[in-house]
């Protein structure tokens, strides 16, 4: 979940600062390739810091690879949820979290990232 949350934060600020090239304009018009790259970098940084302090025996290469793969899976989850909303003709998936698009928007990336990270750790 840390990978998704850190990635979302880095994506937002990177996209706002330097985002020029639309990632999936029909599904999610505000997302950019630059923001997507910033998301991966942010997740790798968060994964590295987490592992450095809490899993000191972990291989740096493995941590960075799993962080990047997990974050990319999370971005697919976010785009899938955006496609569902677009198909349903709604802007938000709920009203319990004003300004956040609903609970599904808070967990959409984790729904894809958590199983992928688990699989990577289990089989690598």
Mean pLDDT by runs of 10 across the 124 residues of the chain is 91 96 94 97 98 95 97 95 86 66 77 96 90
Q: Is 25 exposed, middle or buried (0-12, 13-18, 19+ CB in 10 A)?
A: exposed
At 23 the pLDDT is 97
Q: Provide the angle, in degrees to the nearest 10, between the axes of the packed helices 60-88 and 33-54.
A: 140
At 97 the pLDDT is 62
Report the alpha-carbon distance of residue 66 to residue 32 in Å, rounded: 22
At 1 the pLDDT is 86
- Structural domain for 90, as ranges: 2-123
The pTM of the full predicted model, rounded to 2 decimals, is 0.89
Q: Could you give the number of structural domains in the chain?
A: 1
At 27 the pLDDT is 93
Strand pairing class (28-32; 22-24): antiparallel
């Amino acid at each position: 979940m840390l990978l998704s949350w850190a990635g979302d934060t880095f994506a937002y600020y990177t996209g706002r600062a330097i985002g020029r090239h639309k990632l999936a304009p029909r599904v999610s018009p505000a997302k950019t390739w630059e923001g997507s790259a910033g998301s991966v970098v942010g997740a790798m940084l968060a994964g590295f810091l987490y592992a450095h302090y809490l899993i000191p025996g972990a291989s740096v290469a493995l941590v960075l690879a799993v962080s990047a793969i997990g974050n990319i899976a999370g971005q697919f989850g976010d785009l899938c949820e955006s496609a569902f909303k677009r198909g349903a003709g709604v802007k938000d998936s709920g009203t319990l979290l004003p300004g956040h698009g609903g609970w599904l928007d808070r967990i959409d990336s984790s729904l894809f990232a958590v199983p992928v990270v688990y699989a990577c750790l289990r089989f690598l």
